[in-house]
Structure 1
């Protein structure tokens, strides 16, 4: 019983403002030493319309090329953002599609 009283007293003594602002709120600074990930930046770009959604890119590739999606990374080619989409063909070969991240258009293909 005494322990519960001590815990309750500590909780009541905690500053109210500490609970009002969650530690993960993005104020532009790294939180707890972590930085925003590429995924976070990509999600923000898609939401703001600066980048094509990956789902649309994958659907476009699937319409033209039989196979399955393996992995996607982001980078840039010639200073413009791109998706590098690894795609496995039915015969097992792996192709890497280079897709303009802003327009969603395939701009290159490597392998296969």
Structure 2
């Protein structure tokens, strides 16, 4: 029994490491949305510093004015200002994208739907 355990331990130590374990996930040329380059950290810091309104407040405001549900949000820029791009699904299934000023929380435009 000890001989088998010793042999198994030796084989594990001698085996080459699995090549895929430490490799980054390939993007295969697809765009990356969301947390690229610490975007979430920058957004969180901006909210804490008072430079941006919290996303929860933006979603609550949209929900009060427009029936439906939140699908997705990304951050971007419009006219040199930071914006939230909020995808919202209306009760009839249509999707609207709200462009919301991240500093003031005001809706700049509504596209689609």
Decide: shared fold, TM above 0.5.
yes
CA–CA distance in structure 2, aligned partners of residues 56 and 77 of structure 1? 20
Could you say which residue in structure 1 is the equivalent of 2:82?
81
CA–CA distance in structure 1, aligned partners of residues 87 and 41 of structure 2? 21
Matches within 5 A, 1:36-75: 36-75=37-76
CA–CA distance in structure 2, aligned partners of residues 77 and 106 of structure 1? 12
Q: Kindly report structure 1 stretches of 4+ aligned residues shifted beyond 6 Å.
A: none
Does the alignment pair 1:108 with 2:109? yes
Q: TM-score, normalised by structure 1?
A: 0.68
Q: TM-score, normalised by structure 2?
A: 0.67
For structure 1, the 5+ residue unaligned runs are: 1-34
* Cα RMSD after superposing both structures: 1.0
Name the count of aligned residue pairs: 78
CA–CA distance in structure 2, aligned partners of residues 36 and 72 of structure 1? 17
